[in-house]
Amino acid sequence: MTDETTDAAATDAAPYDVIVIGGGVAGLVAAREAVHVGLRTLVLEAESAPGGCVRALDVGGLTVDVGAESFATRGGAVTALLAELGVDDRIVGANPAGSWLHLPALKGEGSVTVRSPKTSLLGIPASPLAEDVRAVIGTAGAWRAYLDRIRPILTIGQAQRLGPLVRQRMGRKVLERLVSPLSTGVYSVDADDLDVALVAPGLNAAMTRAGSLSGGVAELRLSAPAGAAVQGIRGGMSQLVSALVADITHFDGGIRSGTRVTGLRPIDGDGASGWSVTAAGPEGSEQTVRARRVVVAAPAGVAVGLLAGARDEWTALADLDWPPAAAVEIVTLVLDAPLLDEAPRGTGVLVASGTPGVTAKALTHASAKWAWLAERARAAAAGRNVVRLSYGRVGEQLPTAGLDDEAVETLALADASAILGIPLTAQHLVASARVVWTDAVSHAAIGQRARVQKVREALEADPTIAVVGSWVAGTGLASVIPDAREAAQRLRRGALHTERGI
């Protein structure tokens, strides 16, 4: 990888064609689009390495994803990019065993672990009286949910918030025991704050046609493309980052890690135009680089701050009532526990809020989900398994904050034991790792689409700047990658037209 932290002043005497602020996947995709047409491009990444939420660590001798571990296949954008990068031969499917739910007991104290219903959307069941649904919400809850089939759908207007829609149509138990664990575990947003149009496109229309919420879910499930909805990469999702970095540097693009951008301002006058970017380098020294065009690919809080400070007319962008960013900690455990070889809880478990005896909101049995990881784990030692636990619910303080590594290991082992139904102690632990992800702002939260639209509208008048990333494009690589490519292509078309005098 090209790291240009040395001799920056000499390098930056001439302006770049494009500077990308942020080296996550969105920023790397945008940089790749620019270098492929010969634009002199520099990526500035605040962390010690590019990749953003796609990151791997060596945990007990195994390379393990500690951020994004898979991608949605919808739209084909991720698969197409992997093919262009020459790594599509490493695409693998996940174990279809399915996931489970860990919930408060329906009666009395304690908790239960049950399989997630097979036919559902965002946890909303297509068949409320199905046996696997009744196992989760009980017979009374299932009959309450079935009322959805006989209550008329109001066709005036559309449901905006997922939580109230589910609560009104199918009842509290469907919301609390099926939908909420998924909304907080996957989107880090309370179901009451999830935008139906963003997390379930077409559901409102399907409901109207079918005459019920469950009927609308069934219609959307039937019309879904055949094949796996989620795939991964042999060796981990960090293979995507490595391939992007290699391609960018092959075309002479630069990447400066450990360089935090602190200021962005336009250059106007004296025959010059473009952008001046101020950044703090690894040693704390201030750097200033210039570019004709800029792609802002930083996390939401940083990006909005930079944009609001760049032009007077953009100052109001900071006052759009942005939601507070969620903090999530991923704790990875490598365990020597042969009883886990049978994947007693499938590929993972979502935990309902308020479940006694468990602090984690989700667990992924990574070595059960991905055959390639299981092969490597078993090659290291018989009975070796990898599990990941996720901590941090929206609106609550991160429960692992302030805990040292030993305390976090103890907590994670206790949670894994309760969720998986197998006693796990420090004697089973081979190694652990913890990573805290901050500044997670979901695109699917109510009001976020309108806020993002105001940002896009503000930038429309300036063809020399673009903003990309999950907070503007949506959750997941399937949303981020095509959005970043489109934004970068607009910039590069403008750059090429300018050079040709068009």
Note whether 333 and 423 are same-domain residues. yes
Is pLDDT of 154 > 90?
A: no
Provide the number of structural domains found in the chain: 3
Confidence of residue 271 (pLDDT cuts 50, 70, 90): low
- Check residue 495 and give its pLDDT: 65
pLDDT tops 60 at residue 230: yes
Domain assignment present for residue 274? The answer is: yes
Are 328 and 410 found together in one domain? yes
Residue closest to 60 by CA, chosen among 437, 429, 435? 429
pLDDT of residue 8: 45
Higher pLDDT: 8 or 192? It is 192
Residue 26 lies in a domain: yes
| 409 in Cβ contact with 429 (< 8 Å) | yes
331 and 431 share one domain: yes
Quick one: what percent of the chain has pLDDT higher than 70?
93
Q: How far apart are CA 449 and CA 9, in angstroms?
A: 40
Instruction: Give me the pLDDT at residue 26, please.
Output: 98
502 pLDDT exceeds 80? Answer: no
Secondary element (H or E) of residue 277: strand 272-280
Residue 363 and residue 355 in contact, taking contact as beta carbons nearer than 8 Å: no
276 in any annotated domain: yes
Please give the Cα distance from 8 to 19 (Å, whole number). Answer: 14
The CA distances from residue 76 to 231, 257, 258, 473, 478, in Å, are 11, 30, 33, 16, 8
- Phi, then psi, of 5 in degrees rounded to 5: -70, -15
Same domain? For 319 and 334 the reply is no
Tens digit of pLDDT for each residue in 305-333?
Answer: 999 999 999 999 999 998 877 889 999 99
Chain-centroid distance of CA 270 in Å reads 43
**Does residue 501 register a pLDDT over 50?**
no
**Of 391, 410, 440, which one is at a domain's C-terminal end?**
440
The answer on pLDDT for 121 being more than 80 is: yes
344/429 same-domain check: yes
Question: Any idea what the CATH number is for the domain that residue 309 is in?
Answer: 3.50.50.60
* Among 23-27, 37-41, 125-129, 471-475, the least confident range: 471-475
Integer CA distances (angstroms), 207 to 71, 194, 302, in order: 28, 17, 39
- pLDDT over threshold 80, residue 157: no
Give the model confidence (pLDDT) of 349-383 as tens digits. 999 999 999 999 999 999 999 999 999 999 999 99
The pLDDT-based confidence of 152 (bands split at 50, 70, 90) is confident
**Tens digit of each residue's pLDDT (9 = 90 or more) over 341-351:** 999 999 999 99
- Note whether 21 and 469 are within 8 A (CB): no
Mean pLDDT of 10-35: 88
pLDDT band at 439 (very low <50, low <70, confident <90, very high): confident
Structure confidence at residue 455 as a pLDDT band (50, 70, 90)? very high
- Does the pLDDT of residue 20 top 60, yes or no? yes
Pick the last residue of a domain from 397, 420, 440. Answer: 440
192 lies in a domain? yes
Contact 331, 67 (CB under 8 A): no
**What domain range includes position 188?**
118-223
Mean pLDDT to the nearest integer, 402-417:
98
| Average of per-residue pLDDT values in the chain | 92
Q: Is 272 contained in some domain?
A: yes
**179 or 2: which carries more pLDDT confidence?**
179
Dihedral Cα 142, 145, 151, 156, nearest 10 deg: -170
For residue 106, tell me if it sits in a domain: no
334 and 353 fall within a common domain: yes
Residue 203 counted as domain residue: yes
pLDDT of the residue at 260: 96
The verdict on 328 and 436 lying in the same domain is yes
Residue 370 tokens, joined? 């991905």
Q: Are 422 and 486 in the same domain?
A: no
What confidence score (pLDDT) does residue 224 get? 82
pLDDT at position 428 is 98
Say yes or no to pLDDT of 9 above 50: no
219 with 317, same domain: the answer is no
The burial class, CB within 10 Å (0-12 / 13-18 / 19+), for 332 is: buried
Backbone angles phi, psi at 427, to 5 degrees: -70, -25
pLDDT digits (tens, 9 = 90+) for 473-498: 988 999 999 999 999 999 888 766 66
Q: Is the pLDDT of residue 267 over 60?
A: yes
Alpha-carbon distance 180 to 417, whole Å? 23
Confidence (pLDDT) at 200: 92
Are 408 and 378 contained in the same domain? yes
Does 87 reside within a domain?
no
CATH of the domain at 384: 3.90.660.20
Give the pLDDT band (50/70/90) at residue 394: confident
